[in-house]
Homo-oligomer: A and B are copies of this chain.
Amino acid sequence: MAEQPKLLGTLPSPFVHRVIWALKLKAIPYEFIEQDLTNKSPLLLKYNPVHKKVPVFLHGDKPVCESMIIVEYIDEVWPQNPLLPKDPYERAQARFWVKFAEDKGTAVYRMFSSKGEELEKTKKETLEMLQTAEEHGIGEKKFFGGESIGIADIAFGPVVYGLEIIEEAIGEGAVFEAHRFPRLHAWIKNFKQVPVIKENLAERDWMVTLFKNRREALAGSA
C-alpha cells in the first residue's frame, strides 16, 4: 500500500482519539481528514453509509468503521506493539472490558447533555459504571493490558478523560472522586503519562472551554 491510510475524524471526538492512539502507538503514518459534522462530506457519507459517523479509517479504498473495530483492525494489520494479548482467555477479558466501556461509557456523554433530574440519573449511572470498573476491572494491574496499555485502556481512556473534562464543564460537583475510585485514579494518571498518549491528548483547558460553550448552547436551545 503505497498510499498512507486516512482517518476521517473530528477533534475532540473521544472515539477518534482511540484510533489516533492506536496509530501512534504503532508509529503508523496516516493522513487526518477533519470532518464538519454539521455538513457531512461526500467522503464520510460514502464510506460510512450506515451510521454517517466518525471515525472512519480508510485503508486503500477500504473503509473500516466503529472506533474499537478500527483499533482491532489496525492491531491485526500492523502487529508491532500489540494491543491485544496472545492468550485467548486474556483476549476475551480485554474484549469484555472494551464492550463494557462502549455500552456503559455512554452515561458520561449523556450526562453532558442532560440537566435537572436527567442529570442526576446519568450521574448515578456514571458512578455505577466507575464502581464496577474499580471493583472488577482494573484490579491491581497498572493497566487493563497489564504492564503496557491495550485495547481496554484505549477504550476506557477517553471515557474517563472525557468524564474529568465534562464534570468540570458541568460544574455541579465531582463525580470521579479520587478517594472513591483510587484504582481508577492511579490508572488514568498512568495512562496520561504514557508518552504517546501524553503527546496525543486534547488539551484540557481548551476542551473544558469547548464543552462549557457546547453545553450552554444545548441548554439555550432546550
Report chain B residues within 8 Å CB of A62.
89
Q: Give the residue of B59, B72, B88, B91 whose beta carbon is less than 8 angstroms from that of A95.
A: B72
Give residues of chain A (66-118) contacting chain B, Cβ–Cβ below 8 Å.
66, 69-70, 72-73, 76-77, 88-89, 91-92, 95-96, 99-100
* Residue contact A77 to B73, C-beta cutoff 8 Å: no
Q: A49-B136, A50-B100, A136-B49 are in contact. Are A64 and B92 (CB under 8 A)?
A: yes
Residues in B whose Cβ lies below 8 Å from that of A99 = 66, 69
Min CB gap A68→B, angstroms: 8
Q: Whole-angstrom distance between the alpha carbons of A170 and B77 in the complex?
A: 46
- Per-residue CB contact flags for chain A residues 120-150 toward chain B (1 = under 8 Å, else 0) read 0000000000001000100000000000000
| Nearest B residue to A97, CB-CB | B50
Does A70 lie within 8 Å of B50, measured CB to CB? Answer: no
Size band of the interface chain A makes with B: 20 to 34
CB distance A70 to B92 under 8 Å? Answer: yes
Residues of B contacting A69 in the complex (Cβ-Cβ under 8 angstroms): 92, 95-96, 99
| CA–CA, A5 and B92, complex, Å | 16
Q: Which of B65, B73, B91, B92 contacts A88 (CB 8 A)?
A: B73
Binding site for B on A (CB under 8 A): 49-50, 59, 62, 64-66, 69-70, 72-73, 76-77, 88-89, 91-92, 95-96, 99-100, 132, 136
Rank and list the top 7 A-B pairs by shortest CB-CB distance, nearest first.
A76-B88, A73-B92, A64-B92, A69-B95, A77-B88, A62-B89, A50-B136
